[in-house]
Structure formats: structure tokens, C-alpha cells
Amino acid sequence: MDHLVISILISSCLFVIFKLFNVFKIHTLQAITINYFVAFLIGFISSDLSLEVSQIPSQPWFFGALSLSVIFIIVFNLMAATAQKNGLSVASVANKMSVIIPVVFGVIVYNEAVGYLKVIGILLALVAVYLSASKSDSEPLKKKNLIFPLLLFIGSGVLDTTLKYVETRLVPDGGVPIFSATIFIFASVLGCMLLMLQASQGKFKFQFKNILGGIALGIPNYYSIEFLLKALKTEGFESSTVFTINNVSVVILTTLFGLLIFKEKLIKKNWAGIGIAIVSIFLVVLYG
């Protein structure tokens, strides 16, 4: 249980860090690129990797790791943009509601059971994202306010779905550490390539604070995953229970952080969206 509590706290802090990037004018792409290099170093140093670097390209999961690194970069940038433009509660709802997408994928590809409560939960998730992104109780939601939450919702869902598929189908037992480290280093290299592209266009400006931002993001990013994996191995807790507690708690905690730290204002539609999000997660995960 301690591992799950720590994972929830760290995961919630990631959204706060993204919000602080905007406050301190930290270049998001530079910080995210450094973040993945830091996560790679932590994973590489703390893991007992039994695979030579030269053998990595021949692994069955190699191209899956490469694809995931691209998705990681996109999703993290979307998380940052959503937290900065729409607020912490909107970002957390869009991110955590994405659990719906791998559930749907599981039903279609793995022939997992689907009941009416799961279907209701999936529909409620879409409603939750819409309501949480609203800026007015009386006016309809503008497209510009929905674009980032919707893209984050889709991106996070695709990430979780792809990660689950590659890990279960292509990664052998004991291969998770090197697989994860490979994703992180690929993501870092991709970020460097994008920064070089910006530099060629005269848009790159290096600042030391971006390195500090990347380190501040990379350390909790790595450990949020590690502690969640440890929580999933806790005896007496099913994975569905762990994911439910984790997702619901992160939504609630990030909302509180937004209210208390950044003085974010929530309208009635936002509160309704958060409430529906919590109900949706329970229906999909617990009754799936």
C-alpha cells in the first residue's frame, strides 16, 4: 500500500511540475528531452541489465520501443500544454480517462468481456473530458479549449495500449528493465533531433534552467512508474483495484493542487466532469 501512495503523490507532482514550467518560463521540449535522459540513467544504473547494447537492435521489441519513444515525447508535450493552458484538473482527467482506450482495445483484440456497466463507463469518460475542459457554465465549449485535452486523452490511451501490447507480446520475462531504458534513451535522442531542427531554424535558445527543469521532471517520472509497478505486485491487491485507486486519487489530488497552489477556478461543469471521471474509472476498471 505504501508503494501505491508514493506513486500517487509522485504522479500528481508531474502535473504540478509541468505547470511550474510555464511559471518559470522553462522550455518544455528541452526539459522533456533531458527528463528522458535522466530517467534512462536512473534505470540503467539501478537495473541489472543482462543484455549487451549491440544486441538491442535484434530484439523483437526493438521497433516497438522506437515507436513508444515517439508517443512518449508527444504525450508529455501534450500533458505540459494541457496543464499550462487548461489547468491541472483538466490535464489529469484527460490523462487518466485514457484508461478507456486500452479497455476498448482489450475487448476488440483480446476478446475480453464487455458488460453494460463497462459501456456506460466508456461513454461517461468522453462526457467527463468534455465537461472538465469547459470554461463557462452558460456557453458551449469552444473547440480551442477542447483540442489539447482531447489530444492528450487519445495520446495517453494509445500510449497505454501500445505499451501493454508490446510488453505482453514481445518482451520476455526479465526484459522489462532494458526495454524501458531503451524507450527512455530513444525518446531523449528524438528530443535532441527536434531541438537540432529548432536550432537550424534559429529558434533554439539554451538556458541552464531548462536542465534543472528536466532533472526535476525526470526523477519523479522514473519513480512514479517504478512505484506503480511495485504496487501492482502487492499481495492482496488486484491490478484493477490498484489502477482504480491510482487514477482516481491522481485526479482528485491534482485538482486540489490546482486549487491550493495555483488558485485555479473551477466552474460547475468542471466539478461535474471530475465527479463523472471518478465514476467512469470505477465502472470500467472494477466492473470490466
How far apart are the C-alpha atoms of 102 and 135, rounded to whole Å?
29
Choose between 229 and 61: higher pLDDT. Answer: 61
Q: At residue 16, what are phi and psi to the nearest 5 degrees?
A: -65, -40
Average pLDDT value for the chain: 86
265-281 per-position pLDDT tens digit: 888 999 999 999 899 88
How far apart are the C-alpha atoms of 30 and 211, rounded to whole Å?
7
21-51 per-position pLDDT tens digit: 999 999 999 999 999 999 999 888 877 766 6
Domain parsing of the chain, residue ranges: 2-286
Neighbouring CB atoms inside 10 A of 259's CB total 15
Check residue 238 and give its pLDDT.
64
Check residue 49 and give its pLDDT.
63
Check residue 181 and give its pLDDT.
83
What value does the mean pLDDT take over residues 96-103? 83
Check residue 50 and give its pLDDT.
64
How far apart are the C-alpha atoms of 288 and 279, rounded to whole Å?
13
Grid cell, residue 167, equals: 510488453
Check residue 100 and give its pLDDT.
82
Residue 116's region, left for phi above 0, alpha for psi from -120 to 50, else beta, is alpha
Per-residue pLDDT band for 232 (boundaries 50, 70, 90) equals confident
pTM: predicted TM-score of the whole model, two decimal places = 0.85
Pair 181, 175: CB distance under 8 Å: no
Q: Which of 27, 71, 51 is nearest to 183 (CA)?
A: 71
Neighbouring CB atoms inside 10 A of 197's CB total 11
Per-residue pLDDT band for 239 (boundaries 50, 70, 90) equals low
How far apart are the C-alpha atoms of 180 and 39, rounded to whole Å?
9
Check residue 109 and give its pLDDT.
81
